[in-house]
Structure 1
């Protein structure tokens, strides 16, 4: 069974797991696969992929993307699928390690969130230069920490004046 190519097992894996994912997630994973995984593993036979290959891949990805782990996990999941389906005995990703720091963490310290002053300044500028609807949308996002898809999926019956609360029960894709 180990004569199969990685790309063949990925197709099987994708068919099985895409049944449980949103279309937007399937699309994102497909783009990542084609750009970041296929060039490294696609044309390799399962039996040819070594732990050293996987460790080099992890190290390479950590130098290319700040958020590289989800893509490495996606590559690893295909090999875990191959193990579960008896294509290979064990995953060459077993006992690999992730770098403690990446070039991105060393080179830049990004602010993840605006402080109160920056948020208020943004809202003031938006109110002065844009529509009331856009101002209301951004104000709601900033004050509730709601996600964009959750905000856009809200309906009138999700607003509760008596308790001054909002029920977040759905999201847009």
Structure 2
């Protein structure tokens, strides 16, 4: 039982509970809350997380209910919008497999079977890993809260990383035909895809871009937010860090064309044009480009080029490869792409770097063969 009262200008709660070991009545109290609602929230957290509970109470808690509590209490206000949305997707993969399982019933064997199931269903290694991170964190918190005695996710075997796994990107000789195909299909999307290739922005970063972020004179773009497709809202960048990148004369010309085209659309649509969004890449009436539309356009371009379907994210890789081929250092590329560390950039593009180094060495040997040929003297 919980009671609340106001004393000396602040609120307090008193929780009376039965110790499951001694069966004696005990009490937990805390004072100093500014409002009654603050006291209620704190009391509920203590009752759920700290106070000892009987075996009967604990074994009946469904896994689904615990995951919902974990998301609300330990994730929602502590991770980015993108990460929280990804966690929600992970839970959608978890719950169908463990429909009627309670928190204490989940075993290491069941969890390993679940991971194997995801692999059999064709989920990528990164998707499986992200799902595991969510589950491991939830069960670790459950052990900390004394709801379970051990973490059943601790010793799981995840899919092994494929050696020399190659990134997907568009070959340089296909970039012009690729853009030409898109230009014929949709002029609005042409500018969007052209910018992705020229800047290496993430898709969400490009969709969130406003004209206030673009300096056409200095030829710079401020990347400081991202569009969240699932919630159709604006959030921070992936690692919550802002960056400024320079763009080429070619892209400057296209952005000027886009700006002029949007001004014409504003006259055409009049008050129906969504001027308040001020988006750089938008539909004809100034709204966000639909996710399904950009996906279908990417798929259409790959079909026309008669190549395997590529994700839109591959254009970011294409941009990076072009920079590496031009001699850009990993450090500069890291800052341009907005990676959290140089190690991430080096790991992602290690295969590309090795290939470029091998090509460079072959050219070096060909050009210096006569210089070091002692036998020819």
8 Å contact from structure 1 (residues 61, 72) kept in 2? no
Structure number with greater Rg is 2
* TM, length-normalised to structure 1: 0.79
Counterpart-to-counterpart distance in 2, 1:43 and 1:161: 58
Counterpart-to-counterpart distance in 2, 1:79 and 1:95: 12
Consecutive unaligned residues of structure 1, counting only runs of 5 or more, are none
Tell me what 1:30 maps to. Answer: 88
Counterpart-to-counterpart distance in 2, 1:112 and 1:153: 24
Tell me what 1:13 maps to. Answer: 70
Counterpart-to-counterpart distance in 1, 2:156 and 2:83: 26
Looking at both structures, which has the greater relative contact order when contacts are Cα pairs under 8 Å and sequence separation is at least 6? Answer: 1
Counterpart-to-counterpart distance in 2, 1:6 and 1:23: 23
1:58 pairs with 2:120: no
How do 1:134-173 residues align onto structure 2 when only pairs under 5 Å count? 134-173=189-228
1:139-169 CA distance string (max 9 Å, x none): 0011111122211222223222343221101
Q: 1:133 aligns with which of 188, 202, 208?
A: 188
How do 1:92-131 residues align onto structure 2 when only pairs under 5 Å count? 92-100=152-160, 112-127=168-183, 129-131=184-186
Consecutive unaligned residues of structure 2, counting only runs of 5 or more, are 1-52, 229-377
8 Å contact from structure 1 (residues 154, 170) kept in 2? yes
More strand by share: 2
1:82–1:149: structure 2 CA closer, same or farther, 3 Å change rule? same
Counterpart-to-counterpart distance in 1, 2:206 and 2:72: 31
Counterpart-to-counterpart distance in 1, 2:159 and 2:203: 32
What SS class does the counterpart of residue 68 from structure 1 fall into? helix
Counterpart-to-counterpart distance in 1, 2:99 and 2:172: 47
1:167–1:31: structure 2 CA closer, same or farther, 3 Å change rule? closer
* TM, length-normalised to structure 2: 0.39
What SS class does the counterpart of residue 167 from structure 1 fall into? strand
More helix by share: 1
1:70 deviation in Å? 1.6
1:86-135 CA distance string (max 9 Å, x none): 2113201112211326xxx7xxx8861111122221112223x1443322
